[in-house]
Amino acid sequence: MVTIDDVAKRAGLSKSTVSRVINDYPHVSIKKKEKVFEAMKELGYVPNSSARSLRNKKTQMIAVLVPRIMNPFFGQLAESMEIQAAKHGYQLLICQTMYSKETELKHLELLKMRQVDGMILTSIENEWDVVKEYLSYGPMILCNEFEEEATIPTVKFDQIHGGYVATKHLIRQGHKKIAYCTGGQKSNVGQHRRRGFNLALQEYHLSFDERYGFYDAFSIEDGIRIFKHIHQMPDPPTAVFTGSDEVAAGIITGAKEYGVSVPEALAVIGFDNQVITKLMDPKISTVEQPIPFLAKRAVEVMVDRISHKGNDQEVYEYPLELIIRESTVSPIRAVE
Amino acid sequence: MVTIDDVAKRAGLSKSTVSRVINDYPHVSIKKKEKVFEAMKELGYVPNSSARSLRNKKTQMIAVLVPRIMNPFFGQLAESMEIQAAKHGYQLLICQTMYSKETELKHLELLKMRQVDGMILTSIENEWDVVKEYLSYGPMILCNEFEEEATIPTVKFDQIHGGYVATKHLIRQGHKKIAYCTGGQKSNVGQHRRRGFNLALQEYHLSFDERYGFYDAFSIEDGIRIFKHIHQMPDPPTAVFTGSDEVAAGIITGAKEYGVSVPEALAVIGFDNQVITKLMDPKISTVEQPIPFLAKRAVEVMVDRISHKGNDQEVYEYPLELIIRESTVSPIRAVE
DNA sequence: CTGTTAGCGCTTTCAC
DNA sequence: GTGAAAGCGCTAACAG
């Protein structure tokens, strides 16, 4: 393995000078600089990253905790973040919690052992009280998921508004019996959406039938399961608010199978605006989350925090936008 | 920051002893061992990973190069690998090449700077001659993509067979004019599929009309574009072999839009068996690639190579399986 | 401008 | 069994 000493010897200089050239310091004569570059090229020298990390106490790596990469929302978030991080000279260590408290905890240790310079949480499995203990080991920020009492930078979507516009749209289509599907119940993202949902209901003086509440809905299979449940209810809802496009797709698939027409007999609205919304028949109405903006800002805030810039209280909120397609609007009774 | 020295002091022992305990060495008296554990717990000590890496010349990290995480095939591959790597005590550094030669090259440097102990390539953008130069810096293996002249461990699918069974299925349905869509032309994965395709054609004494060849087909949009092209051909194909479920979904979406019935007027077969195949109407016939097996084996081989086990010539090949759904089989003229 | 030197935190001979 | 000491490859005072 070729080290900085080899380069120094080859160039007939000291390793400090070589180091200065590598790190682009001023006060190095052009001549010697060139000599160093030459020696580096000849030897194919690349600085050893562990040695640098140890010395600098910086690894140039940021951990991103996501539930799973395969979840399209988190996949897109991770992908956007990676591109952004590279621009700032950081590697991204993508860590899947697989919805497990233990796995999340294990990943949090990365901060303790200084394997990463900072940590971006896009979801939280453990209680905030346990997560916050890790704050003393390095900068942590929240992106997407959030926590009311957390005093760390947060980059999020306006989920209340998202839940509100989606529900209002359903109501305006004439629906009064609206079902609600959500993923994890602990998630504040989910809770805010629910608040938006309730807000719209209140505004139109509608009440929520508890029988219409469905939880732990994440996947297509969950959507199919929920449809089946709805289908055999004595007094079923006429519309469904879902927490994800996948669940909406599942419900539509179930409906197709049972010959229930969407949106005429059952309107369905998704969340995320994934490609699948345009592939389904009917195309799925949904709420778009501008993921790349969120990712970009999160990385920027993280990079700033690593260099002790910015402050812990900053909160960035991005708006959500309703996208109306076919799964909520019957060509016959279109109102909006 | 609490270091091994702090622990040693607290426990009234030398840091060598503490190190021995951390690394689970024999020849440490039970008593002192306990003392060390106690001190570690009290101080909340976790070994610094950069220091360990520098000393051990091992980072316990493996880089995985994928084109993009959002591509469902590579996303699933990365997810499966991550889970497997964790079991062996390795972190996975997922690197996106974004189909760019330069970005790939940049990631290859990770091996040179010893930021990772090994590298798994799932795709190759640069010429093999330039990639192979990096072999001297650490173990590299191929997973999914492969290279005839490469002398490194390879874990792959039997793409020839995959192309063959899919095409044969189409022919058996009575098709003679079969179009062929593929992604990158340089990819050996694609070339082997093509060989399988040709094999089936030959077997049935059919010839391929060059007008029916489509390249750079990766996404849903590409599928739609290809359909439009086919649709306005004077003598269009009656079936399409695609290199991915997304392209198949795009073609079906295009067909729907133009009122062309699938599979009656145009049969379409996908590749991968992604969830989308079950969501589309008609459901997409496809070729399943058992990704988790591939991922598991790749990680195992990599871990072995890192500890100088196994040999460079090993090649593991996994079979591919045809899954027949609705996009190729008309309920009316079903033959198979 | 450039070189010498002292560590970063850890593991590993080598003595005892 | 245990400790002292050297050193992994690099950067950053500190001299000069």
Is residue B239 located within the same domain as residue B132? no
B333 in a structural domain: no
State whether A72 and B76 contact (CB < 8 Å): no
Identify the contact set of chain A against chain B, taking CB-CB distances under 8 A: 1, 44, 46-51, 53-54, 59, 68-70, 72, 75-76, 78-79, 82-83, 91-94, 96, 98, 109, 112-115, 220, 249, 253, 256, 275-276, 278-281
Verify whether the Cβ–Cβ distance B75 to A70 is below 8 Å: yes
Q: Tokens in use for A147?
A: 């926590």
Alpha helices in chain A (DSSP H): 4-11, 15-22, 30-43, 49-56, 72-87, 101-112, 128-131, 159-172, 188-203, 220-231, 245-257, 276-279, 291-306
Give me the number of domains chain B comprises. Answer: 2
A185 and A81 belong to one structural domain: no
Is the C-beta atom of B51 closer than 7 angstroms to strand C?
Answer: yes
Distance CA A302, CA A50 (A): 22
- Residue B112 and residue B243 in one domain: no
What's the DSSP call for residue B100? Answer: -
> Does A232 fall in a domain?
yes
Between strands B286-288 and B321-323, the pairing is antiparallel
Token pair of A108 as six digits: 């949090």
Residue B333 has pLDDT above 60, yes or no: no
Please tell me whether residues B260 and B142 are part of one structural domain: no
For residue A83, how many other CB atoms are within 10 A of its CB? 18
- The band of A105, judged by pLDDT with boundaries at 50, 70 and 90, is very high
Contacts of A146 (CB under 8 A, 6+ apart): A154, A156, A188, A189, A315
**Rounded Cα distance, B175 and B212, in Å:** 13
B238 and B275 assigned to the same domain: yes
Q: Which residues of A touch B283 (CB under 8 A)?
A: none
Contact A79 B69 (CB under 8 A): yes
The reported pLDDT for the residue numbered B334 is 44
Instruction: Look up the domain containing A98 and give its range.
Output: 4-157+292-319
A192 and A310 in a single domain? The answer is no
| DSSP codes of every residue in B285-319 | BEEE--HHHHHHHHHHHHHHHHTT-S-TT-EEEE-
Give the Å distances, CA to CA, from B139 to B106, B118, B288: 17, 5, 29
Q: Give the pLDDT score at B184.
A: 81
Q: Which residues touch A239 (CB under 8 Å, ≥6 apart)?
A: A170, A173, A175, A177, A178, A179, A263, A266, A267, A268, A269, A328
**Residue B144 belongs to a domain:** yes
Residue B20 CB closer than 7 angstroms to strand C?
yes
- Percent of chain A scoring above 90 in pLDDT: 92
Nearest residue in chain B measured CA to CA from A75: B70
Q: Indicate the SS3 state at residue B145.
A: coil
C-alpha distance from B199 to closest chain A C-alpha (Å):
33
Does the pLDDT at position A335 exceed 60?
no
Instruction: Identify the CA nearest to B73 among candidates B160, B171, B145.
Output: B145
- Amino acid A332: pLDDT: 57
Residue nearest to nucleotide C2 (CA to C1'): A17
Which residues 284-313 of chain A have a CB under 7 Å from nucleic chain C?
A: none
Q: Is residue A121 part of a domain?
A: yes
Which candidate from A76, A82, A281 shows the least CB-CB separation from B256?
A: A281
SS (H, E, C) A83-111: HHHHHCCCEEEEEECCCCHHHHHHHHHHH
Query: Same structural domain for residues A38 and A28?
Result: yes
Query: Per the CB < 8 Å rule, is B279 touching A253?
Result: yes
Q: How far is A140 from chain B (nearest CA, A)?
A: 17
Cis status, amide bond into A72, omega within 30 of 0: no
Confirm whether B305 is domain-assigned. Answer: yes
Verify that A165 and A197 share a domain, yes or no: yes
Residue–nucleotide distance: B114 CA to D5 C1' (Å): 27
Q: B238-284, pLDDT tens digit by residue?
A: 999 998 999 999 999 999 999 999 999 999 999 999 999 999 999 99
Contact of A299 with A84, CB cutoff 8 Å = yes
One domain for residues B140 and B10: yes
Per the domain annotation, does B86 fall within a domain?
Answer: yes
What residue has its CA nearest to the C1' of C8?
A55
pLDDT band at A333 (very low <50, low <70, confident <90, very high): very low
Q: For residue range A232-241, what is the model confidence (pLDDT) as tens digits?
A: 999 999 999 9
Name the band, by pLDDT with cuts 50, 70 and 90, for residue B311. confident
In the block, residue with structure tokens 């610094």: B48
Query: Which nucleotides on strand D sit less than 7 A from a protein beta carbon?
Result: 1-5, 7-13
| Whether residue B249 sits in one domain with residue B195 | yes
What pLDDT was estimated at residue B186?
A: 87
Residue A60's closest chain B neighbor by CA?
B115
Q: Residue at minimal CA–C1' distance from C12?
A: B16
CA–CA distance, A226 with A222 (Å, rounded to integer): 6
* pLDDT reported for residue A336: 45
Chain B contact set for A47 (CB, 8 A): 113
At A142, which helix (H) or strand (E)?
A: strand A140-143
Dist CA B287 CA A163 (whole Å):
39
- Structure tokens, A298: 């999160």
pLDDT at B332: 58
Kindly state whether residues B297 and B284 are assigned to the same domain. Answer: no
Give tens-digit pLDDT for A163-199: 999 999 999 999 999 999 998 888 999 999 999 999 9
CA A50 / C1′ D3 distance in Å: 27
Measuring from the CA of residue A57 to each C1' atom, give the nucleotide at the shortest distance.
C8
Closest residue (CA to C1') to nucleotide D11 in the complex = A55
Q: Is the CB of A15 under 7 A from strand C?
A: yes
CATH of the domain at B282: 3.40.50.2300
Is B332 domain-assigned?
Answer: no
Higher pLDDT, A240 or A149: A240
- A115 to chain B: which residues are within 8 Å by CB? 49-50, 91
Residue B49: which of A70, A113, A276 has the nearest Cβ?
A113
Q: Could you say which of B51, B96, B279 has the minimum Cβ distance to residue A54? A: B51
Angle between helices B188-203 and B159-172 (to 10 degrees): 40
The pLDDT of residue B336 is 44
Cβ–Cβ gap A96/B75 under 8 Å: no
Average pLDDT on A263-277 reads 96
Q: Do A69 and B75 touch (CB under 8 A)?
A: yes
B59 contacts A54? CB cut-off 8 A: no
B191: in domain: yes
CB B248 within 8 A of CB B272: no
Q: What is the DSSP letter of B149?
A: T
* Interatomic separation, CA of residue B16 and C1' of nucleotide C15, rounded (Å): 14
> Looking at the structure, do residues B19 and B144 belong to the same domain, yes or no?
yes
B53, closest residue in chain A (CA to CA): A50
Nucleotide at minimal C1' distance from the B8 CA: D3
Q: What percent of chain B has pLDDT over 90?
A: 93
User: Helices marked H in chain B — which ranges?
Assistant: 4-11, 15-22, 30-43, 49-56, 72-87, 101-112, 128-131, 159-172, 188-203, 220-231, 245-257, 276-279, 291-306
